[in-house]
Amino acid sequence: MEKKLAVFLILATTVFFLSGCSLFSTSWTYTDLPQGYELKKINDTKMVIGKEVEGNLEIELEGKTIGIEKYIAEFQTSDNYIGLKALENNEDSISVLFYIIDAKNEDVYGPYETESTYNAVVEKIVEEELGEWKKTVDINENGVLVPSEEENEKTTDEE
């Protein structure tokens, strides 16, 4: 009996790990971005932002970079633009990099190392008002942005 239980546990554990531990999967896809762009969380350290093309999320199209593969911490949008705060893990530290995606023309600008440089470029090239920064940690497992309690309090205070 103990031998059968041990074999069962080994098989169950093997199947669990070979299936990618999908029972505890934290991946999601956020689709409420302009011009067919999507933000996809692969796991706790990897995110991709790209454009939905024929059922695939593309970050490069015909030799042109149209998305990025970094951990996106925050984003802001308008009808045709996406602003991003991405985290990059260096040997000694984590740095914040800023990007602008012109979703209509499929152009990526950046990375910019400071928010002031990012803001200056936004002022020059973005023809629309970008919305408030939204945190990707506020996107649930269904790909729905659910503002944190902190955001809800800020909104309530402003009214």
Residue 116, in any domain of the structure: yes
Residue 14, in any domain of the structure: no
> Which residue segment(s) compose the domain that 132 sits in?
26-137
Q: Are 52 and 65 in contact (CB under 8 A)?
A: no
DSSP 18-42: HTTSGGG---EEE--SGGGEEEEEE
pLDDT for the residue numbered 90:
86
Number of folded domains that form the chain: 1
3-52: pLDDT as tens digits: 544 434 454 443 344 334 444 557 999 999 999 999 999 998 889 999 99
108-143: pLDDT as tens digits: 999 999 999 999 999 999 999 999 999 999 999 999
Residue 144, in any domain of the structure: no
